[in-house]
Structure 1
Amino acid sequence: GRAPPCPLQHSRALYLSIYLLTILTGFPTNLLALHALIRKLRCKATPNCILLLNLTLSDLCFLAFLPFKVAEARAGRWPLPAFLCPLSGLFYFSTIYSSTLFLTAVSVERYLAAAYPIRYKLRRRPAYAALASLGLWFCSLAHCSIVYVTELQPGGGPANGTSASSKGVCYDDFTPSQLQVLLPVRLELGIVLFLVPSLLTSFCYCGFVWVVVSSPHIRRGKKQRAVGLVAATLAVFIVCFTPYNVSHVVGFVQRASPSWRDKALLLSTFNASLDPVIFYFSSSAVQHSCRRFLARLWGICSLPPLARKVFYRRTEKLTPGPPQEQCRGLGGGQVCCSKLTPGFYPWCWGPVGWSMGLGPGRARAGAVGVRAGGTEPLGDTLIHSA
């Protein structure tokens, strides 16, 4: 019989699958978020928008260096020039921790805006958010420069006359002298750049949700968005960042890198795919871009009713200009539909209908129209007729 694949082959397949999945899902969603946030910044710069923009850039930078990991996993060794090893490691690890810092900054901004709305609004300046972003970038890059320090230790690379290519590994298989420097720094990274930000994020979002949910003046939709934002952020911290940073503590106690550290690090790559979910709940500009993109890509016909309810609202802000109309004779009368985007007719009206407070004879998409002389829905065929 055929021999089963060795564990190394299984490991390579796992790494390649997760890396490619992250690239395929992370790049388009983060580029869409980047486009939306830049458009919003041109109209009106806000601290939240600046922080989200930096978080998006962090994810895109991470994704830009992820193909190096794909090449390493595919070859089973480091196949690229030696100088790219510490460079890719620096950006790979620093963008992981910059994501935690920017997620924490967003949570602090949300909490201050909800808990102290008047005082915070008086002191709210986009320049402060820009300066804070520069400080967070410097903090993550400075801490993760340990990659270069480790590579220059004896047996770590150029200082010993070897390279990542000749050793066959990149930032792995450390010598005792390297671990003596690396393990305490990893512990410090886990405390300063993960534990403290995660505790601060949890505190801020607990207070934020309490203020939003307990307020009788906030609409139910905004309350649901707030809960979704908190759930998505905490999921990123728990799933993507916690296992990897726990490995720092275990490694420091055992005085050696845990055998499962690489698997824990692999989970952190999902951060680039999950952050766009946070963007969706955090920014109305990203929400509008998602709806606009889906409307142009598929049109309302191809979406099931549940997705249509989530991604489309009663709004004419999706496209500028006056709405177009398309009418069809039906049952002795005429029923017309307004067109906001190609293939998108969200409003219909006729001689007889129901209003829901929206004006005589109007109905939402999904209950898209009313037959003349009755209340039977017309269905999607009328809305999307050519």
Structure 2
Amino acid sequence: MIVKDTPTLHLSIYIIAFLIGLPNAVLAFCCCIRKIRSKPLPIDIIMLNLVISDLFFLTFLPVKMKEAADNMVWNMPDILCRLNLFLFLTPINGSCHFLAAISTERYVCVAFPVKYKNPKRITYTILICIAIWMFILVTAVFTYMAAYGGSNNDTNYTEPQQCYTNFTTSQLQDVLKIRLALVAVFFCIPLFICCFCYINTIRILLKLPLIKRCRRLRAIGLALETLLVFAICFGPYNASHIVGYITQENPKWRMHTLTLTTLHACFDVIIFYCISYEMRLAFKICEKGFIQFYVRIKSCF
């Protein structure tokens, strides 16, 4: 049973994700650019790509807000619906791969510190990020062709028009097959990589007596935060792909899981904080500024 206030709930989650995610993503983007200009590390390159993926996602989020405000009926131009696949769904898949790349980079840094300092690693990391983007875009193109290819004559338009939902029978079969493949490629494999890398990274750090406690805590926090993103944001969404393939239909609760993916923009803020010293420094400066502003306002009264 679908709750009548579901669109309001979706809109609330979109607004929260936008207000929290966008300013922090912009801040993280500025920190990454500044660090890359001075003394870049492989982790900075990967984090920059994750931030760019989040910015694409957050830039398109107001369109999803409008959809939720219209009671989940698509009253906007069809071109925006088609862009939804590239600017809303594609960054979700990209985030999974960039999170896996971050976990791999952290593991290499701890397990192979000598090889990590190789200057060529910057070049390798850039090539890996380019390969991830190309793979994501190619996958999105195949998904687009499956969703919007062929004839729409037998699509059921008796119901209110919705974006990426009104498929013909043949389109739906193709989309469900691709979604099932996406579960393996964009969820299961990145999740396995993250679990393997972070478990071994934490195990190595716990054995090193000279490692500072704060660094160990950040590593544990980064691992837990990444697993939470997969469990809360991406897990239910990919489960809907599996259920949809088994039942050969779009699950009615799929839209709820899609809304949950929006929260990854909020969780990524903590990931940026654990990774980047510049981000932590920026947070401290902002915190100090807010405290001073609060003290001045309070003194006026």
Taking structure 1 as the reference length, the TM-score comes to 0.72
Alpha-carbon deviation of 1:221? Answer: 1.1
Alpha-carbon deviation of 1:116? Answer: 1.2
- Indicate how the Cα distance of structure 1 residues 265 and 68 shifts in structure 2: closer, same or farther if over 3 A, else same: same
Distance 2:227 2:65 in 1: 28
Asked whether 1:82 is paired with 2:74, we answer no
Asked whether 1:109 is paired with 2:102, we answer no
Asked whether 1:35 is paired with 2:61, we answer no
Aligned to 1:15: 10
Distance 1:8 1:203 in 2: 39
Give per-residue Cα distances to partners, 1:153-198, cap 9 Å, x unaligned. 322xxxx599x9x962111132211111111100000001110110
Question: Secondary structure in 1 aligned to 2:117?
Answer: helix
Distance 2:12 2:184 in 1: 31
- Indicate how the Cα distance of structure 1 residues 278 and 148 shifts in structure 2: closer, same or farther if over 3 A, else same: same
Question: Secondary structure in 2 aligned to 1:144?
Answer: helix
Question: 1:188-199 to 2 correspondence within 5 Å?
Answer: 188-199=181-192
Aligned to 2:148: 151
Asked whether 1:71 is paired with 2:66, we answer yes
2:154/2:168 contact within 8 Å kept = no
- Would you tell me which structure has more helix in proportion to its own residues? 2
Give per-residue Cα distances to partners, 1:11-40, cap 9 Å, x unaligned. 111111111111111111111111111111
Question: Secondary structure in 1 aligned to 2:229?
Answer: helix
Give per-residue Cα distances to partners, 1:84-112, cap 9 Å, x unaligned. 21112222111001000000001001101
Question: Secondary structure in 2 aligned to 1:298?
Answer: helix
Asked whether 1:94 is paired with 2:94, we answer no
Aligned to 2:283: 290
**How large is the Cα RMSD of the aligned pairs?**
2.3
Alpha-carbon deviation of 1:152? Answer: 2.6
State how many pairs are aligned: 294
From 171, 190, 194, the counterpart of 2:164: 171
Give per-residue Cα distances to partners, 1:192-246, cap 9 Å, x unaligned. 1110110011000000111112210101111111111111111111111111111
1:32/1:290 contact within 8 Å kept = no
Asked whether 1:58 is paired with 2:63, we answer no
- Indicate how the Cα distance of structure 1 residues 7 and 251 shifts in structure 2: closer, same or farther if over 3 A, else same: closer
Amino acid at match of 1:132: I
1:198/1:237 contact within 8 Å kept = yes
- Indicate how the Cα distance of structure 1 residues 125 and 9 shifts in structure 2: closer, same or farther if over 3 A, else same: same
Amino acid at match of 2:23: P
1:154/1:177 contact within 8 Å kept = no
Distance 1:287 1:124 in 2: 27
- Would you tell me which structure has more strand in proportion to its own residues? 1
Question: Secondary structure in 2 aligned to 1:125?
Answer: helix
Distance 1:128 1:300 in 2: 45
Amino acid at match of 2:135: C
Aligned to 1:45: 40
Distance 2:96 2:121 in 1: 22
Question: Secondary structure in 2 aligned to 1:83?
Answer: helix
From 275, 281, 297, the counterpart of 2:274: 281
Please identify, of 145-154 and 186-195, the stretch whose mean Cα deviation from structure 2 is larger.
145-154
Asked whether 1:247 is paired with 2:244, we answer no
- Indicate how the Cα distance of structure 1 residues 148 and 74 shifts in structure 2: closer, same or farther if over 3 A, else same: farther
Alpha-carbon deviation of 1:9? Answer: 4.1
2:11/2:68 contact within 8 Å kept = yes
Please identify, of 80-89 and 122-131, the stretch whose mean Cα deviation from structure 2 is larger.
122-131
Question: Secondary structure in 2 aligned to 1:129?
Answer: helix
- Indicate how the Cα distance of structure 1 residues 135 and 99 shifts in structure 2: closer, same or farther if over 3 A, else same: same
Distance 1:9 1:104 in 2: 37
Alpha-carbon deviation of 1:8? Answer: 6.2
Paired-residue identity, %: 36
Alpha-carbon deviation of 1:83? Answer: 1.4
Alpha-carbon deviation of 1:7? Answer: 5.4
Distance 2:39 2:145 in 1: 40
From 257, 262, 267, the counterpart of 2:255: 262
1:110/1:208 contact within 8 Å kept = yes
Question: Secondary structure in 1 aligned to 2:74?
Answer: coil
Question: Secondary structure in 2 aligned to 1:299?
Answer: helix
Aligned to 2:222: 229
Aligned to 1:219: 212
Unaligned ranges ≥5, structure 1? 1-5, 303-342, 344-386
Please identify, of 141-150 and 23-32, the stretch whose mean Cα deviation from structure 2 is larger.
141-150
Give per-residue Cα distances to partners, 1:115-157, cap 9 Å, x unaligned. 11113323652122111111111111221221343123322xx
Distance 1:220 1:295 in 2: 25
Amino acid at match of 1:102: F
Aligned to 1:204: 197
